[in-house]
Amino acid sequence: MSVINKIREHSGVAVGVIAVSLLLFIVGGDLLGGRNLFGGNQQEVGEIAGQSIDVQDFNAKVDQLRAQYEQQTGRAPGDQELTQLREQAWNQLLFDIAYQKEFDKLGLKVSPEELYDMVQGNNISPAVRQAFTNPQTGVFDKSQIISYLKGMRNLPPQQQAAWATFEQSISENRLRDKYEGLLRMSNYATNAEAEKEYQAQNTKANIKLLFVPYYAINDTTVKVSDSELQSYLDKHKDEFPGVDSRSIQYVTFSVAPSKEDSASLYTEIKTLARGLGAAGNDSTFAQQNSDVRVPLYMTAGEMPEQLRASIPTFAPGGIYGPFREGNTYFIYKYGGTKTDTSYTARASHILIRPTAQTDSAKADARRRAQAILEQIQGGANFEVLAQQNSADGSAQLGGDLGPFKNNGQMVKPFESAVFGATSAGLIPRLVETDFGYHIIKVTQPKTNQLYRVVGIGKTIAPSQTTRDEALRKADQFASGVSNQDEFNAKVKEEKGLVVATAERVPEGANQVNALTDARQLVRWAFEKKTDVGDVSEPFEIGDQYVVAVLTNKTSKDDVKVSDYKNELTAKVRNQLKGEQIISKLGNASGSLESIAQKYGAGALVETVDDVNLATGFLRSAGVDPTALGKAFGLKAGQRSKPFAGEAGVLIVEPTQITPAPAIADYTMYKTQLQQNSAARTGFYINEAIKEAAKVEDNRARFY
């Protein structure tokens, strides 16, 4: 599902988004005239199916979307929103030109009767349904559509035209759905394929293996020649596609606030503290003076740690702080408590996801989760195990999910477990949800007591003097170097500078490593006059100045070894290591333990039970399709010869193979195969259409 969602996000579902925006506009206001942001330049911004797209026409589409955005949000789009609007405009052009050619070939259309059905019939379009659903009650009322359409002739001509555009949009979206549906329905899984998938998922093996990882041989002892790299590239061209990219190295000169800036702000916030204490309408005073939004009411769990520690000393009207969080100072005024209508709690979790939606995969996931739970109950560190095992973004935070309410923010089983706990601590059972199996630790039990804390946050901003000094340092560095060697030498001279590397940056990139809004840097790297070794002038990106040197160029039409030097070297080096290891193992005989002992340092002997061919995991060897295939191709008790796998050389020896039980109906597995195939088809539809249309996207040269 995620693949299809991603493709739709980037390749045309913008039609639906535009449709909803149009309808919201029609119901809510007047049409604004488009304004040209970029001038009347007639240069070509791209080409789709042989049709040139000049920048003026493209900008007109962007302006139309921008007007809708401004009408809907009440503000002008920022740089990031403008980038998204340009992406929507480009996707609309892809649809109007490339997709429409495919629709015409197949004779696909949306009839007037079908459009009527989508707008006011029995199969209402989701876009229409969303726009005419009461936001307070969540109830959709078809009579509102009919009433609106009856009054259409009394609306201004601009709104009538906008409605026509909206209907065209939902028609186009239906066309795309029809086209994708036809191609997806062309996928078919046979009974033989379904049976093979069933066998792969349910035939189990206990495997004993000898594993010598490639890293057991030091990289420095294996020399890789340029001819070997070229030979590998020639044989694996499909794995290393050509791309237009640039590689750079850069140094940054931070515009971080100085000690003087910090001291000045500290003095200011102390003055504000006195004003907050004396203010009659303290919440208004705070809003007028705060750089950041601070909630008026918070539970103890939602408070910053320093403020929470002050709760025992709270007194009505008392001022607490300043507390520093990053570059922001906070002060708070306590104003009593009240009872909330809902509860808030805080918890951490470790999520173990099944590798597939099958009974065996779910059972494997449950076993893993239960083993981790037992480790924690035995004294293991929850946060460490979360970082090592959890399958969601909270892992890097030790599993911490932060505060949340019992209002449906979390899925029901998870919410019930957390808010059913009466105290902090580990929940002594696994909690199963649609996401997988959760090991949960309640860090702050539920509470509905809210504290009124009026807060002011003031962020330390660099003074103009600080900015000028950072720019002076960046200018001095850039003016003293003219090529990569001088760049590297200068870095060594100046203490504190750290060189960052960005490999294969695409022409349309907005971000370079951690540098956001870095378009000016990327555009410099792609300018025709910028050669490898050239050093840039300082660019102001965020709160820092950046000086870069261009280190490499790659072309989609000419793939060189240097384009993938690191990746190719790793591949060839492992290939050579594999040959060395296999040679050293020779015609090994005896037990795997004796072979490992004879081989020496680096050789491991492990056993893995209940492995299946579809999702098998071989402990230290990881996921290795080659090893699994060899193991399941042997009979119990047979042993393979040494062979090179994904992460090292293996000898596999299945000790027991349990065939999958016979079943009469493979429908479930046929459905799985068809769904997986349909998901992949969704991706390839867009790629195939773009390839057939010979799309050339030159937007990065203009924006």
Amino acid in the structure at residue 356: A
HSE value, Cβ hemisphere, 13 Å, CA-based, for 491: 19
Residue 543 shares a structural domain with residue 633 = no
Say if CB 689 and CB 102 are below 8 A apart: yes
Name the burial class of residue 498, with classes exposed (0-12), middle (13-18) and buried (19+) by CB atoms within 10 angstroms of its CB: exposed
Q: Nearest 5 degrees, angle CA 466-CA 467-CA 473? A: 95
CATH number at residue 442: 3.10.50.40
Q: 250 has which bridge partners?
A: 500, 548
Q: What is the pLDDT of residues 306-365, one digit of tens each?
A: 998 999 999 999 999 999 888 899 999 999 999 988 899 999 999 999 887 777 788 889
Q: What SS3 class is residue 596? A: helix
Domain co-membership, 252 together with 276? no
Q: Return the pLDDT at 4.
A: 29
**What is the distance between the alpha carbons of residues 498 and 492, in angstroms, rounded to a whole number?**
9
* DSSP strands (E only) in 638-689: 643-644, 648-658
Q: Cα–Cα distance between 201 and 660 in angstroms, integer?
A: 8
Residue in this structure with the two tokens 């789009």, named with its chain if needed: 77
Is residue 297 located within the same domain as residue 418? yes
For the four alpha carbons of 400, 405, 409 and 411, in that order, the dihedral sign comes to positive
Q: Which residue is listed with tokens 């003074």? A: 463
Query: How many structural domains is the chain composed of?
Result: 4
pLDDT reported for residue 177: 87
CA distance 13 to 276: 49
**Domain co-membership, 432 together with 350:** yes
- Its pTM stands at 0.57
Distance CA 396, CA 411 (A): 21
* 342 SS3 class: strand
**Nearest 10 degrees: Cα torsion 617, 618, 622, 624:** -80
Q: What are phi and psi of 137, to 5 degrees?
A: -100, -20
Q: At 78, is the secondary structure helix, strand, or coil?
A: coil
Domain CATH for 480 = 3.10.50
What's residue 3's pLDDT? 29
Please identify, among 430, 461, 492, the residue that sits at the C-terminal boundary of a domain: 461
Of 516, 569, 573, the C-alpha closest to 546 is: 516
Residues 549 and 572 in one domain: no
Look at residue 175 and tell me if it is in a domain: yes
Q: Domain check: are 433 and 581 in the same one?
A: no
Helix axes 592-599, 565-585, angle to 10 degrees: 110
Which stretches of 185-327 are assigned E, i.e. beta strand? 204-213, 245-254, 297-298, 319-325
Domain boundary pick from 400, 427, 461 = 461
Contact at 8 Å (CB) between 347 and 440?
A: yes
Say whether both 382 and 502 belong to one domain: no
Selection from 354, 326, 369, 568 nearest residue 458 by Cα: 326
631 located within any domain: yes
Residue type, 386: A
Residue 593 domain-assigned (yes or no): yes
The verdict on residue 640 lying in a domain is yes
Supply the angle between the helices 667-692 and 191-202 in degrees, to the nearest 10: 110
Residues 600 and 576 in one domain: yes
245-254 sheet: strands from edge to edge: 500-506, 245-254, 544-554, 539-540
Residues 580, 431 share a domain = no
Q: What is the extent of the structural domain holding 616?
A: 204-218+564-658
Distances (CA, A) of 545 to 268, 416, 523: 28, 50, 16
Taking residue 356's Cβ as centre, other Cβ atoms within 10 Å add up to 17
**Residue 13 three-state SS:** coil
Let me know whether 534 and 610 are in one domain. no
Kindly give the parts of the chain with pLDDT less than 50.
1-42
Tokens of 678: 């349909």
Domain end, chosen from 407, 430, 461, is at: 461
Is residue 36 within 8 Å of residue 63, measured between CB atoms? Answer: yes
- Would you say residue 269 lies in a domain? yes
Domain identity same for 441 and 393: yes
Let me know if residue 196 belongs to a domain: no
- DSSP tag of 4: H
Residue from 653, 644, 629 nearest 214 by CA = 644
Closest by alpha carbon to 655, among 588, 608, 598?
A: 608
DSSP classification of residue 406: T
pLDDT tens-digit readout, 267-302: 899 899 999 999 989 999 999 999 999 999 998 888
Residue type, 462: P
* Residue at 159 is within a domain: yes
pLDDT reported for residue 517: 86
Q: Give domain status of residue 538, yes or no.
A: yes
Buried/exposed 271-292: b ≥16 CB within 10 Å, e otherwise: ebbeebeebeebeebbeebbee
**Do 285 and 431 reside in the same domain of the chain?**
yes
